Structure 1
Amino acid sequence: MFNSINQYPIIFTHVPRSGGTTLVSVMGRQYKKEDQFFFYVREKSGNTDEALAEFSKMPENRQMQMKLLQGHTSYGIHEYYKDYTYITLLRDPVERVISYYYYILKLPGHYLHNILMSNKMKLEGFADSGLSAELDNIQTRQISGIQLKSHEKCDRNMLETAKHNLITHYKIFGITERFDETLLLLQQQFGWNYPFYTALNTIENKPGRNQISARALALIEKANQYDIELYAFAVEQFNQIINNKGPAFQRDLEKFRKYNRIIEKISRPYTGNLGFTLWDFYIKLTR
């Protein structure tokens, strides 16, 4: 555990369609709203330029107040700070692109929605379209922090930079497919209340990977070869971290999953995460 005085702000590099919305909902309950800033994507243009400009113009004392910065940004926001902590979630690249395609189809406000609909674009065409940098090793792009023009391709230098940043600058990086373990690592690192959650921003009736054509899968893999390597590297490192935690971590994980199921049942009929809010309030009273 590093010095808690020097860990803020937490900078969450939110990779699109990685489970980050659920993580954001958890983190949002841990800190005051005025101590958070969202680098959200303007869906009409598909970038965070306006949010970045807004943040850069913020008075320095307000910037220094921030405990949590989050959004679809790349490594590099720390230039405003002497002390900081990066975190991120990485997802299986093929699953991420599949999810992104079906997400766009179901979100009329997304800047790519009309293009897909007007061209009746199937997943195969989408994967090979080059419509967005998010189809070309977006995880490598974001973690490397190397800025490219929209038409420029990732290269191996970006991959190696991303690996270096992940190990050197990201105090905790999680795996979407290992979300509960990731949350527990974060909770232990930052001293959070139990990070109970319910999955958000999910896509109903999305076909499984075994229902996707071999050609579509091959095209996604071809366009995301560096992300596939980065993900494999991250999983290997993540496994080592979990193994080093020992049996006590596994016992805590089982307990967390058990209680999360209970809290989720309470919250499901309501809006506003009622069960989670009540739990947080109970923890504060009993501390």
Structure 2
Amino acid sequence: MAITSWLTNALGAGTVTPDLNGNHSELLRGYGGLFPIISAHIIFDGELDPRYDYITLLRDPVDRVLSWLFYAENTVPDTPEFQRHKNGARNFLQSNGEIVDDEIRSSISNYYVEHFAQIQRFSSNIFDGKVAAALQSLSDFKIVGLYEDYSSFLSDVSDLVCLPDPGTIATVNPTNQRPKVREISPALRERIVELNQLDIRLYEEVVGWKVSAGQRQSRKDVTSVASKWQKYEPVRDRVITTPDITILTAALRGEAVVFHGDLLTFDVDFFLSRQVADLEMGVHVFDSDRRWAFGINSSLLDQCHQDLPRGTYRVIHHLVADLPAGSYTAGFAFSEKVGDGVRDLAWYDKLCEFEVHHRVERPFAGYANLSAEIALTPLASGLESPVVEYAYGSVALRTPPVEMVSGEHVRLDVEITNHGDRRWIGDGSCPVRLSYHWLGIEGEMAVFDGERSSLPDGGVPAWKAVMTSMSVVAPPVPGRYTLVPTLVQEGLGWLEEIGLETAAYTVVVTTGCEVLPG
């Protein structure tokens, strides 16, 4: 906002837009060509426009988040529009970062990386890829400044727009009652750092990138620099008119909202003021981003319309709306074949508007409606199911310990018996593994989730007993405990809950110096 105010005062009213918010493509369509400089909080929805130079200013991510939080809590207007941000910021600060409302998460967590990665249309959750995509986007910016080196940023912008270096500019809309980063609690700072790991990496990369580029070259004498301003040529609708033809009406039959695959019929009435030797007629469809979606003409369809006398005619265009969902425009063209060339008689990019919707038989996620089905096929009878449904069997230690030192790590011989008709599988998905519980002197659970040990190769076959060993770690606090060896199927549950017989062994855990009295 301070940069906008400075440039507006220096270059004159009508040169810089007011501070805007919106999608990149919509801002360019709405303001491109009207203002030489667009100042905005941009939501990027695609690549940068090569007709523009882009500049941005980054600041230390922790400092940025802290500034945003206190700005939202203390400075923004107390209106319904901003209340959710005020409440979210207040909840976050008062809880030392434990409460992160959905309304503010995108503003205080990795904002830079998410923002700039959108230019590359990178939406994956692969973190390294997101940082790389954001860096790639920033490399296409004309100026990337650092808030901590604000004077250099102002100097770079001055060079770009051929203005004297202002040195400093007036502050606009400062954050009220904002502490320094060093003044907040360690817990709050650690939480902000945790939420901004990607932004911190990005910022460090940009700082290193700017340092490696070396010192700025000395400023040019702006009085001797020719103007760098170039006229912005907006994308305009193409319109060609001649006295030879007049378009009377152009209309889409029926409703302007059609479904994918429906028939589109356009009636175009026109008047020929003279005889036309060989008339070529066409229709073209553009999407909402002014991209040419479809075009066809009578010559491409091997149609010939020769020696048409002066008069009024109607051409009917039939199209099948085999288009993605969205908004479209239809335009029409007329030309006359003359020798080996073509002479345009009339061309209109946009005369009719319509929308294409897709019929949705069932709900789905995403933007594309794909034909899909899900089929379930039973496994061949020869394949074993890894899921243990009934654990008929037992687990017992061959030589249980009587005494252990707190925290001691030992391996104990164990016998596993499978009385069921299916093998217990120790590898692949949902493997079965050895584990244990420690119970206290009153039978309370002291250690529930014991260390894991793998089954022997081949698992435990049906109607067999196998000998192996398991790893056991003693509880950290000395005392009298009960050790319960057991089996667990990862991701599913403990086998004693579905029939496995377990043994219980009393073990005294000491400090290593003395044995507790019995």
**TM-score (norm. length: structure 2):** 0.37
Number of residues of Structure 1 aligned to a counterpart in Structure 2: 213
Structure 1 pair 114–221 and aligned structure 2 pair: CA distance change class (3 A): closer
Residue 52 of structure 1 and its aligned partner are, at CA, apart by 6.9
1:170 matched to 2:141? The reply is yes
| 8 A contact 1:31–1:67 mirrored in 2 | no
DSSP 3-state at the match of 1:203:
coil
Structure 1 pair 71–125 and aligned structure 2 pair: CA distance change class (3 A): same
Residue 71 of structure 1 and its aligned partner are, at CA, apart by 1.3
Residue 243 of structure 1 and its aligned partner are, at CA, apart by 1.2
Q: 2:190 aligns with which of 218, 223, 236?
A: 218
1:187 matched to 2:158? The reply is yes
Residue 153 of structure 1 and its aligned partner are, at CA, apart by 6.5
Question: What is the match of residue 504 of structure 2?
Answer: none
Looking at structure 2, the residues matched to 75 and 120 of structure 1 have their Cα atoms a distance apart, in angstroms, of: 27
1:105 matched to 2:73? The reply is yes
Alignment of 1:116-135 (within 5 A): 116=88, 122=94, 124-125=96-97, 128-130=100-102, 131-135=104-108
Question: What is the match of residue 271 of structure 1?
Answer: none
Residue 201 of structure 1 and its aligned partner are, at CA, apart by 2.1
Looking at structure 2, the residues matched to 138 and 208 of structure 1 have their Cα atoms a distance apart, in angstroms, of: 20
| 8 A contact 1:136–1:154 mirrored in 2 | no
Q: Deviations over 1:108-165 (max 9, x none)?
A: 243434524885852623774443311121111222225699xx97833221111011
Looking at structure 2, the residues matched to 212 and 82 of structure 1 have their Cα atoms a distance apart, in angstroms, of: 43
**More helix per residue:** 1
Residue 216 of structure 1 and its aligned partner are, at CA, apart by 1.1
Q: Deviations over 1:75-133 (max 9, x none)?
A: 45766x44111100001000011111110111224343452488585262377444331
Higher RCO structure (Cα 8 Å, ≥6 apart): 1
Looking at structure 1, the residues matched to 52 and 18 of structure 2 have their Cα atoms a distance apart, in angstroms, of: 16
Residue 222 of structure 1 and its aligned partner are, at CA, apart by 1.2
Question: What is the match of residue 6 of structure 1?
Answer: none
| 8 A contact 1:102–1:206 mirrored in 2 | yes
**More strand per residue:** 2
| 8 A contact 1:128–1:219 mirrored in 2 | no
Q: 1:208 aligns with which of 180, 190, 196?
A: 180
Alignment of 1:1-287 (within 5 A): 21-38=1-18, 40-41=20-21, 48=22, 55=27, 58=30, 63-76=32-45, 81-106=49-74, 107=76, 108-109=78-79, 110-116=82-88, 122=94, 124-125=96-97, 128-130=100-102, 131-145=104-118, 155-167=127-139, 169-195=140-166, 196-241=168-213, 243-245=215-217, 248=218
Amino acid at match of 1:212: I
- Unaligned 5+ segments in structure 1 are 1-20, 42-47, 253-287
| 8 A contact 1:137–1:224 mirrored in 2 | yes
> Considering only aligned residues, what root-mean-square deviation do their CA atoms show, in Å?
3.3
Q: Give the stretch that moved more between structures: 32-41 or 180-189.
A: 32-41
| 8 A contact 1:39–1:52 mirrored in 2 | no
Question: What is the match of residue 264 of structure 1?
Answer: none
Structure 1 pair 90–235 and aligned structure 2 pair: CA distance change class (3 A): same
Looking at structure 2, the residues matched to 208 and 189 of structure 1 have their Cα atoms a distance apart, in angstroms, of: 32
Pick the structure with greater CA Rg: 2
DSSP 3-state at the match of 2:189:
helix
Q: Deviations over 1:15-56 (max 9, x none)?
A: xxxxxx222222223444334334634xxxxxx36x975x46
| 8 A contact 1:137–1:154 mirrored in 2 | no
Question: What is the match of residue 256 of structure 1?
Answer: none
Looking at structure 1, the residues matched to 178 and 92 of structure 2 have their Cα atoms a distance apart, in angstroms, of: 17
Looking at structure 1, the residues matched to 38 and 150 of structure 2 have their Cα atoms a distance apart, in angstroms, of: 20
Residue 231 of structure 1 and its aligned partner are, at CA, apart by 0.9
Looking at structure 1, the residues matched to 89 and 50 of structure 2 have their Cα atoms a distance apart, in angstroms, of: 46
Question: What is the match of residue 278 of structure 1?
Answer: none
Structure 1 pair 104–85 and aligned structure 2 pair: CA distance change class (3 A): same
Looking at structure 2, the residues matched to 113 and 134 of structure 1 have their Cα atoms a distance apart, in angstroms, of: 10
| 8 A contact 1:104–1:112 mirrored in 2 | no
Amino acid at match of 1:201: N
**TM-score (norm. length: structure 1):** 0.62
| 8 A contact 1:98–1:123 mirrored in 2 | no
Looking at structure 2, the residues matched to 52 and 192 of structure 1 have their Cα atoms a distance apart, in angstroms, of: 28
Structure 1 pair 159–212 and aligned structure 2 pair: CA distance change class (3 A): same
Question: What is the match of residue 277 of structure 1?
Answer: none
